[in-house]
Amino acid sequence: MSKEPVAVVGIGQTRHVAARRDVSIAGLVREAARRALEDAALTWADIDAVVIGKAPDFFEGVMMPELYLADALGAVGKPLLRVHTAGSVGGSTALVAANLVAARVHATVLTLAFEKQSESNAMWGLSLPIPFQQPLLAGAGGFFAPHIRAYMRRSGAPETIGALVAYKDRRNALKNPYAHLHEHDITLEKVMASPMLWDPVRYSETCPSSDGACAMVLTDRAGAARAPRPPAWMLGGAMRSEPTLFAGKDFVSPQAGRDCAADVYRQAGVTDPRREIDGAEIYVPFSWYEPMWLENLGFADPGEGWKLTEAGVTELDGDLPVNMSGGVLSTNPIGASGMIRFAEAALQVRGQAGEHQVEGARRVLGHAYGGGSQFFSMWLVGARPPDS
């Protein structure tokens, strides 16, 4: 039995900011969900099931908050699933929801991911107590900086690459009204002069801490036919996981990421991602992860990713735009960040990305990762249905 094609017909985001003190957690998720429903011209009654994701519950101090959010999500009397796969969760959540449609369990599913980081302190929420983790590994930056240094040493990339990524993403964010950071006076010099946090990661090369939610309505062919706006079609989707630490682990280009991308490309019939994919929303929480993931995703050969960044290929008007929305570097409600990547990819192929639209984008990749570079989720969406 072949799978039912999955279409994205509704997308909604909150305006992402450091602290949404004007809304409760329920108000935050409802804002994104309602916008997704409006985009799809559907009502709560049209939704068969809800799949919600977020990163660790400690970020808000609510254990399994989906129980409390059942009412706000219109899920009463419906199936409600809660996914948690670390930083990749926003992407994984969308894929779990997509499977419900692909398996023909449900026709129309609301999927949503959120984080309200202002409710607690995410850095300490991420810093495990001794003896589970060595001291001084405060926050994610402390974990990832050594792997960035390994990449720099391995690839011979010039030290300026990270700043170029940050400068690009923060300028892209100026074209995205939902982005958290709108730094109108950003310059490359300011990025390079910003304080060093975790060598080589500077303050301006680091993701912010955001409150925000993102929602999508996924549906089958019949649902897509009724949609008022062009749908985005899922051409491939996959998740891969590997252990946190083991002898021989390649933190610079993890095997799980390469396998995940290969699976997505196989499903979509993509043999040359650099030529066949028109843009990518990649989970880049620290600037240097753009060139690292470009290689991991097969857009560049090992050691060559930074050259695409340096040559401007990943700029909004480049040959392979990356993080047109401003990316995680401009907006990071952690649990939602992966779903924002997936949703922004879908916005592009729907032609609905507004000022940061890539003209003629037909196939765009959405990417998320989490944990110790060990959980990956990705999808490729297209303007046309699969096998058409």
Partner 1 sequence: MTSAPPHREIAVVAFAQTVHRRISDELSEVEMLMPVLHEVLDRTGLKTADIDFTCSGSSDYLAGRAFSFTLALDGVGAWPPISESHVEMDGAWALYEAWTKLLTGDADTALVYAYGKSSPGPVRDVLTRQLDPYYVAPLWPDSVALAALQAQALIDTGAADEPALAAVAARNRENAAANPHAQLRHRVPQGDYLVRPLRTGDCPPIGDGAAAVILAAGDRARALCARPAWIRGIDHRIEAHGLGVRDLTDSPSTRLAAERAGAFARPVDTAELHAPFTAQEIVLRRALRLGDDVTVNPSGGALAAHPIMAAGLIRLGEAAARIHRGASDRALAHATSGPCLQQNLVAVLEGEPR
Interface positions with partner 1 (CB under 8 A): 1-4, 24-25, 48, 55-58, 60-71, 75-86, 92, 96, 99-100, 102-107, 125-126, 128-129, 132, 220, 238-244, 246, 254-256, 259-260, 371-372, 374-375
Q: Which is nearer to partner 1, 178 or 375 (CB)?
A: 375
Q: Which is nearer to partner 1, 86 or 294 (CB)?
A: 86
Q: Which is nearer to partner 1, 78 or 384 (CB)?
A: 78
Q: Which is nearer to partner 1, 167 or 369 (CB)?
A: 369
Minimum Å gap between C-beta 87 and partner 1 is 9
Minimum Å gap between C-beta 21 and partner 1 is 13
Helix (H), strand (E) at residue 126: helix 122-126
Q: How deeply is 195 buried, as exposed, middle or buried, from its count of CB atoms within 10 A (0-12, 13-18, 19+)?
A: exposed
Minimum Å gap between C-beta 122 and partner 1 is 9
Alpha-carbon span 50 to 67, nearest angstrom: 12
Alpha-carbon span 34 to 226, nearest angstrom: 18
Minimum Å gap between C-beta 102 and partner 1 is 5
User: What's at 340, amino acid-wise?
Assistant: I
List of residues 6+ apart from 200 with CB closer than 8 A = 145, 148, 149, 152, 159, 162, 288
Minimum Å gap between C-beta 132 and partner 1 is 6
Q: Which is nearer to partner 1, 117 or 287 (CB)?
A: 117
Alpha-carbon span 39 to 9, nearest angstrom: 7
Q: How far is CA 262 from CA 127, 258, 271, 274, in A?
A: 32, 6, 9, 13
Minimum Å gap between C-beta 376 and partner 1 is 8
- DSSP for 285-303, written as a single string: SBTTHHHHHHHHTTSS-TT
Q: Which is nearer to partner 1, 145 or 262 (CB)?
A: 262
